[in-house]
Structure 1
Amino acid sequence: MSNLKVFFFILLFFLNFTYASAQPYVEKELLDKIGKKYKVFAKKRFYYLQKTLDSVKDANDLEKLDKVNTFFNDVRYKSDIKVYGKKDYWATPWEFLGKDMGDCEDYVISKYFALRYLGVDSKKLFFTYVRSSKFKAAHMVLTYFETPRSEPLILDNNNRKIFPASKRKDLTPIYNFNGESLYKAGKKGTGKKLKNKKTHKKWDELKLNMKRKKI
């Protein structure tokens, strides 16, 4: 076999291996379960999600943030009481997109895990508790910090565009949470780390439901 043929044989093998080893966001077995529970339209939503994620897999963080934020903001808002019969429930991304509805925490959770799948560093992503002057209520958004001292970008289901925190005068940050640590939010940067943080019950419950692939 000529050197050129050997080269193309190796290249073809490598490409096939790379394609075969690429993990989809939702594996086939789980996708089939979602289809059975939520029917064909839900399954199509997950196909479209995969297509959306694939379109920015080699893009920079800002492009990934924009695509993910836009995709999930098309899901309908609905309170936990109306969807789950509970005051406060953190849905898995599969429950959220399968039902095609959820509250602010559910948007944050789904955006977070989609961005983690795309390779965005978990140290840059935070679940941020805020107070909204517009709605006179507590709220949660996903924040992105380029560095621990950076001004965060806000991914919010109540606003389709991503803005730096200084442009969101309607939001007052309270706490930043990243699954490991809790910070008291400041005007800039991730804020002051709080000592003796207890385990976040909802986060632990979510991780367990993710592990069980709860739909």
Structure 2
Amino acid sequence: MRFHPAGKKIIRNTLWVALALNLIGWLFITTSFFSSLLTLGTLVMLVMVLQFFRYPHRPVTTDEKLILSPADGKICVIEECEEKDYLKTRCLKVSIFMSPLNVHINWVPVPGTVTFLKHKEGEFYAAFKDKSAEENERFCTAIRLNDGREIMATQVAGALARRILNYLKPGQAVTQDLEMGFIRFGSRVDLYLPTDTKLNVKLGQKVTGSQTIIGELS
């Protein structure tokens, strides 16, 4: 199993903590039951961290007419709304909630050119709640398509997510096989699409980043 570079430091620190706790248990805990319980607890902690930063190999089929899912997770919102950070127009919003068990890599949903990047400070409400889209810390990425239209993907922090990584740069040409970023420990990604987008997903559906077709552009 490969592990994502975003987790290199956390994996290393978790391993050291696990070793230290087990050493303390071996030296100072005389009861075998509690010693075994400590070992089991540190093992579970290490396995959870490793699975969180797993790095799957996914061949991506690019198509400029398709919107690919930017993340693994479950569709938690489908609605029309006003996008207020950059597009400032009515959009079709599709939100994907990522639990701590999902792969947390974020992929570029459409090919084009990056026109807007902005990190906004905010709160850390649970990512599945509606107010998280407006009030939580987030990172907005707008991409201009070849036909001039723009879509936006917003990485939203959650109650556990305290670090949003975004790898793109303004003016960068991007394709759907590129990683947009990474969010640590539970979060969501909001897509703001043209209102005439033909959706291929429904509320509650599980999606796979870079693989599931969210919709088709008219």
Normalising by structure 2, report the TM-score: 0.29
Q: Which has the higher contact order (CA 8 A, sep 6+)?
A: 2
